[in-house]
Amino acid sequence: MAFLLVVVSRRFMNPVSYRGRKLRPYLPQLFKHTGTQLILACLLIVGLTFLICIPFASQHAQTHTLLALTTIEKYFDQIKEDSDYLLASEYQHTDCERLLVPLRKGVFQSDRVKEIGVFDRDGRIFCTSNTGKTSFYLYQTMLDRINRSPFQQTLSYTKTRLSKEQSIVLMYKNNQEENGLSILVPPRYVISLVDDLFINSHLNYTVRVITRSLTSIELDKQDRLSVSHSRKYPLEVEVYKQKSYLFYYFLSKSWIAVMVAALVNVFLVLQKNKKLSSHALPMSLEGALQCKHLELYYQPIVEHREGRIVGCEALLRWNDPIQGMISPGIFIPLAEKVGLIEEVTHYVIDQACIFLDEHVELFQDKYISVNISRSVILKASFIDKVVAAFRSRPDLANRIVFEITEDNDFTEKELILLREKVMIMTKLGLRFAVDDFGTGYSGLHFIRQCDFDFLKIDKVFVKNLYQESNLVPVLKSMYRLAEDLNINVIVEGVEETEQLNILDSLGFIYIQGFYFSKPLPAEDFLIRLKAGGRDINRKELSSPKEVGSNLLI
């Protein structure tokens, strides 16, 4: 049990991983969900164990019966062995006087027998330990039974001549021709022997010699569980159940039920824990949406020559009370998988609009861009809601940019649909950006589908900019393309001065990256905005270059 507890507790301490992220198990939820199940499992196992016990209970009774029978047989065998010396050749063909002393010695030394008599080959008892010389015959039926028995022995349960009490008489010979012994055994000796075996067993028994029962209790035949017959003696043992037998038998085996229940429950709890952990994020993402544990951070987009903030990207943050900060790289794909992404997107748009509304002055000439997943942008329900939200608010729509990732997974049909949807939303005043440009292989084809206002060059083109010289021509051609299409370019993921220098020399002026600022909580972003965006990390560039067309506003 201790081992099981250690295993279980260690299992709960060990986080389960989801999409490469280690998740802490949700213990309160675990017990909330498994409590009833565990109780039901216990009840079921107890019930099943009880049912399984029934056939085993009669087997158990059978074992008791056999044990009782062999114990009695051994008892009589031992009596014979102890008395065998009285049948030695020296005591054959002799009179009672020579026999009397050994006979009495035999009774005196034995705690099993009351009286021993010796009978001759005609069945005449001529000497007993109690009366000495005597003369009476064994019943013919007894003699017949001795002669028929392969062991030359029999039993009888009868009233003795001496005490007139019912006694067991063990009669046997060792040789056809010579003397035999008739040994008187008080039935209570046999009964106490068996009583010891049946103590606390909740079974009743009866021992029969020939057909006579040694006990006087009346037993109901219906309660009889088993019967065993001796092959050596005319003896049988019958076992009967008491009313409480099954219950007590079950109680004696209840440790099995406890063990099975414990094992099953441990298994159930482990399974549930695994299931809950894999459902933990989806479950709490739904809760996070309801409880507003999702917060928008804003990362400035900067016109780097003047150090002027021209807009920002709204990036969702989830601070889960149990799991801590969860990256959008985990929960956005999860929201897509569990069908929550549309709700999440509306939440982000709503929050961004509230933020814009609350700080109209600060956002006069600035925008907030919001990421829209591919699965959401094509949905009619999404467009309907967007139209409903912005139809009467062109002032808000003009300050919102929707970022759509360049994606080669769009089929031709979907691209046509995308064009229609984008057109509807553009009419409202909303603007669109191609996100992560350069990563989706579709490049030009994708850009040409819609009327995009912005092109965001992915950070992979910036990361090793000053080490990989072949990136420069790629960036140059992207720049030219944007110029040709009259699209504003933003370069993402700028972290180093060297990167900025090269980008500047290529003509890029709109930058989003840690170089200027990490994504900030709303209050911190407001502080930056209130400062006029002028306090932004402005660097003296090595070779400033005139740039013409990439103006944002």
Query: Measured between alpha carbons, how far is 551 from 553 in angstroms, rounded to an integer?
Result: 6
Q: Using CB distances below 5 to 8 A depending on partner kind, what does residue 348 bind out of Ca ion, ligand C2E, none?
A: ligand C2E
Rounded to the nearest whole angstrom, what is the least distance from the CB of residue 317 to ligand C2E in the complex?
Answer: 7
Tokens standing for residue 34: 């498994």
Cβ nearer to ligand C2E, comparing 329 with 521: 329
Print the binding letters for residues 350-389 with Ca ion: x by CB under 5 A, - otherwise: ---------------------x------------------
Cβ nearer to ligand C2E, comparing 117 with 328: 328
Q: Is 435 in the site for ligand C2E (CB under 6 A)?
A: yes
Print the binding letters for residues 334-373 with ligand C2E: x by CB under 6 A, - otherwise: --------------x----------------------x-x
Question: CA torsion, points 535, 537, 538, 539, in degrees to nearest 10?
Answer: 150
Tokens standing for residue 370: 């919001």
Name the nearest CA neighbour of 327 among 285, 283, 278.
Answer: 285
3-class DSSP state of 15? coil
Among 175, 327, 464, 542, binds ligand C2E (CB under 6 A): 327
Burial class of residue 224 (count of CB atoms within 10 Å of its CB; 0-12, 13-18, 19+)? middle
Interacting residues of 122 by C-beta distance below 8 A, sequence separation 6+: 137
- Judged by CB under 6 A, the chain residues 188 through 227 that form the site for ligand C2E are none
Query: Measured between alpha carbons, how far is 331 from 317 in angstroms, rounded to an integer?
Result: 9
- Using DSSP bridges, classify how beta strands 454-457 and 431-437 pair: parallel, antiparallel or unpaired: parallel
Query: Measured between alpha carbons, how far is 24 from 21 in angstroms, rounded to an integer?
Result: 10
Q: Using CB distances below 5 to 8 A depending on partner kind, what does residue 493 bind out of ligand C2E, Ca ion, none?
A: ligand C2E
**Residue tagged 């079974």 (tokens):** 203
Among 328, 438, 440, 507, binds ligand C2E (CB under 6 A): 328
Say how many residues make up the chain. 553
Question: CA torsion, points 436, 551, 525, 291, in degrees to nearest 10?
Answer: -50
Query: Measured between alpha carbons, how far is 287 from 309 in angstroms, rounded to an integer?
Result: 34
Rounded to the nearest whole angstrom, what is the least distance from the CB of residue 352 to Ca ion in the complex?
Answer: 13
Burial class of residue 200 (count of CB atoms within 10 Å of its CB; 0-12, 13-18, 19+)? exposed
Residues 401/454, Cβ–Cβ less than 8 Å: yes
User: How crowded is residue 243: how many other Cβ atoms within 10 Å of its Cβ?
Assistant: 8
Q: Which stretch binds Ca ion (CB under 5 A): 50-58, 297-305, 331-339, 395-403?
A: 395-403
Q: Is 464 in the site for ligand C2E (CB under 6 A)?
A: no
Query: Measured between alpha carbons, how far is 351 from 335 in angstroms, rounded to an integer?
Result: 18
Q: Using CB distances below 5 to 8 A depending on partner kind, what does residue 552 bind out of ligand C2E, Ca ion, none?
A: none
Q: Is 438 in the site for ligand C2E (CB under 6 A)?
A: no
Rounded to the nearest whole angstrom, what is the least distance from the CB of residue 430 to Ca ion in the complex?
Answer: 15
Print the binding letters for residues 494-533 with ligand C2E: x by CB under 6 A, - otherwise: xx----------------xxx----x--------------
Q: Which stretch binds Ca ion (CB under 5 A): 89-97, 228-236, 354-362, 429-437?
A: 429-437
Sign of CA dihedral 379, 381, 387, 393: negative
Q: Is 299 in the site for ligand C2E (CB under 6 A)?
A: yes
Q: Using CB distances below 5 to 8 A depending on partner kind, what does residue 514 bind out of ligand C2E, Ca ion, none?
A: ligand C2E
Among 30, 99, 155, 316, binds ligand C2E (CB under 6 A): 316
Residues lying near Ca ion in the complex (CB under 5 A): 371, 403, 435-436, 492
Residues lying near ligand C2E in the complex (CB under 6 A): 299, 315-316, 327-329, 332, 348, 371, 373, 435-436, 459, 492-495, 512-514, 519
